[in-house]
Every structure is written in C-alpha cells, then in structure tokens.
Amino acid sequence: MFCQSLSIRYVLTLILLLFSCSACTHIPIRVDESGAPQREYTYQLPLKIDDGWQVSSLAEEGVREEIIDDMMEAILAGKYPYLFSVVLIKNGNLILEEYLYYNNRYYLQDFRSAGKSVTSVLMGIAFDKGFIKGVDGKLLDFFPEFEKGTNWDKRKDEVSLHHVLSMKWGFGESGPANSLPWYTENWISKTLSLPLISEPGEKFEYHSAAPALCGPILESMTGMPVTEFAKEYLFGPLQISDYLWHTLSDGNTLTAGGMFMRPRDMAKFGYLILNHGQWHGQQILSEKWIDISTRPYTSDDELGYGYYWWLSKYKGGDEFFKTIFAAGHGGQRVMVVPELNLVAVFTSKPDDNPKGHARILQIMEKYILPSMLDSGF
C-alpha cells in the first residue's frame, strides 16, 4: 500500500523501473533531454524546473569539469554498473544531474533505508515544535495501551527515545527486528515484546523495527497522520509533491523506509542538514536538532551513527572530509560534505547489487571529492 494514490504515471514509473532493473547490463545507457540514448558523454547544464533548485554549472562553482567528465566516461564504460542517478549540489546550486538505464529526473527512485534519515528530520521537527518534549522520554510511555504481560524484563522500562533513535535500545536481533514491521500482524506489540539482548544504550544494532516505531509515536504525539505531518511541515516547505510512501497493513506509515522520490528532491534533505535547517530562508529544522542528530553515538571511529544518519570520513586527494549520509540497500545515498559545501545523491539498482555502496565510495574518493579541490574557489 502507498500513502498516495497510484496514478497511471506512477504505475508506469514503477513498471519502467522494474524493467530497467531486470534489463540492467553492465553497460549503462544515458538518455539526453530528447530521450535519445547516448554512450558518449558531454556535460549538460541541469534543467531548471519548478522544484526550488537554482541551477549553476560545474565551472561556475569551481568544480573541475575534466574530472567529472572522466567519472561519467568510466560510468558509461560500465566500470560502475547498476548506478541509476548522480546528482550534485554545490554551494546551494544544482550543478550535475545524470540518469542512467533509461531513468530520468521525474522517475521516483526507491530510497530504501535512506528514508530513515527523513524520519530523523520529522522527529526533529516534532521536537522543535514541542510535540515531543525531549529524547529522554521512555519508549513505553508512547504506547500506554501495550500490555507487558508476565515475565516482563524491567530493563525495558528504561529504554528511552534516545536509545530508539540511536539504534542502541537493546531489543531483539537484526533478523527479527528487521522483519516484524513488514510481515507480522500486531507488529508493535511483538516488537516491544522482543527480548533484550543487551543493556539499553550499551550496543549499536542496526535494524528497522526501532525507526518503524517512530511512525506511531509521531501520530500519537502530533495528532496527525505521518503523511499529513510530513506534508505540512517538511515536504510542503521543501517543495516536494511527487512521491510514494509505503503504508503497512495496520495503516501506519513505514518510517523505516518504503519511500520513492526524485533524486533532486532527495538532495533537499541533505541540503537541509548542510544549510543549518533552512530552505530558501525558511527555518524548517532547528540547528539544535541537526547538532544532536548528527553526533556519533557509536564507538567506531571509521563509521559512526547518529539519529538515523551515518557518519564517516572520505578521502579526497590527501585530505579526509567529514561526511554525513543517509544510506539505503543496494546503493542509495544522500551524502553531505560540510567542508566542501557539497551534497551528493546516488541511486542504484536496489536489489541484487551487493557492491552498490562500495562503488559509490570509489566514485566519491576517485572523482567527486578530488574535483572540488585545487580549483581556486
């Protein structure tokens, strides 16, 4: 189920995406503005449409065009297969949008678990507007109808919203915790009944049940369906109107993923983090929430985790750059590099693509980050 009705265009989009996935070869096809396939690369200025983005060129923003040309030639030669789109935002301007395997700027791409980062933003807006009083509130206080039953582990009473947002709540294991929101009736009760495998706050365990619980929490605290809350306070202000969002069998919106969106619109969530919560001068998300949600709450120095945002450092030339990013299965990425005033978005074949994330890392470190250096800007 989806929160928006499936118009004929939406259905055609999904069919074309499924066809492009099934027909993927190692040699991608790039389509120009007329719809004609191209295998040789020539840089084109992104098209300005009514979505809020200002358009600029690589040269105007100090990006080394020859390196981006090399990147695209390598992609078109099949060195980085199953990559569907690359979108770059530099200094607040859209400077590159490339679509492959017959995708285009209007196709709604499968965001997968990168949608968890959108949930983080929504939780932050609820926090900013006073719907949620703080991250220290206890998880079970948001579910007063839940019956604990016999043999209740009292340690669960200490699980806080902070633990849920940082994936350190201690519930279950990644397998059951990932599958419950999708495949199980009464998934909320069954999720809260999972055994503790670690003390709350002790161990990071990536899964989807915790962010899925944010959906009913948001609806309970705001008195609005998640989709309406998002439309009023996030999607509307960001000029995002074209998207699909999966709805679970019990009517809850899947806040752990299940979102289909244009790559240009995906970039807006990254830019919101980069631009201190503002879009065209409007404060949508507070700097306070950005600060607490993009701190590392894990002990891994190479790959950290905040509130549904990943944190790492990527190498460009001889330098390492702090990067905040949303990530979804198969190689879906929204990457924010504050030091370079950069947002990079990648979408990829979502299934049967185990090297999707590794390819994006290679592209970032070999081409995109170096293209931003030694340019005189």
- Counting the structural domains of the chain, the total is 2
Divide the 377 residues of the chain into consecutive groups of 10 and give the mean pLDDT of each group.
50 50 63 75 95 98 98 95 97 97 93 97 98 97 94 96 97 72 83 93 93 97 98 98 93 94 98 98 98 94 94 96 97 98 97 94 98 71
- Model pLDDT, residue 1: 56
- Residues 209, 248, single domain; the answer is no
How many whole angstroms separate alpha carbon 111 and alpha carbon 241? 16
b/e burial code for range 2-14 (CB count within 10 A of at least 16 → b):
bbeeeeeebeebb
State the Cα–Cα distance between residues 196 and 225, nearest whole angstrom.
30
- Count of C-beta atoms within a 10 Å radius of residue 210: 29
Do 139 and 108 belong to one domain? no
Q: Is residue 29 part of a domain?
A: yes
pLDDT at 20: 47
Does any domain span residue 357?
yes
Residue 102 falls inside a structural domain: yes
Domain stops at, among 155, 189, 224: 224
**Per-residue exposure over 325-356, b if at least 16 CB sit within 10 Å of its own CB, e if not:** bbbbbbbbbbbbbeebbbbbbbbbbbeebeeb
234 domain residue, yes or no: no
In order, the DSSP letters of 324-347 are: EEEEETTTEEEEEEGGGTEEEEEE
Judge if 13 and 119 occupy the same domain: no
Residue 169 and residue 270 in one domain: no
Is residue 245 located within the same domain as residue 359? yes
In a shared domain, residues 258 and 362: yes
- CA distances 218 to 161, 221, 224, 251, 253, Å, are 12, 5, 8, 14, 10
Q: Which pLDDT score, from 0 to 100, does residue 185 have?
A: 83
Q: Residues 287, 364: one domain?
A: yes
Query: What are the backbone dihedrals phi and psi of residue 12, each rounded to the nearest 5 degrees, phi first?
Result: -60, -40
Residue type, 186: N
**Are 264 and 364 contained in the same domain?**
yes
Tell me the residue range of the domain where 44 lies.
8-112+241-371
Distance of alpha carbon 49 from the chain centroid = 22
- Between CA 338 and CA 103 the distance in angstroms is 29
Q: Strand ranges (DSSP E) for 62-108?
A: 83-90, 93-99
Residues 256, 175, single domain; the answer is no
Q: Is residue 313 part of a domain?
A: yes
Predicted local confidence at residue 141, as pLDDT? 97
H helix runs in 107-186, sequence order = 115-128, 161-165, 174-183
Residue 374, φ and ψ in degrees, nearest 5: 55, 40
Q: Does one domain contain both 257 and 209?
A: no
| Confidence (pLDDT) at 174 | 64
Is 319 a member of any domain?
yes
Whether 99 and 220 share a structural domain: no
Look up residue 99 and give its DSSP letter. Answer: E
- Residue 82 and residue 18 in one domain: yes
Determine the straight-line distance between the first and last CA of the chain, rounded to whole angstroms.
47
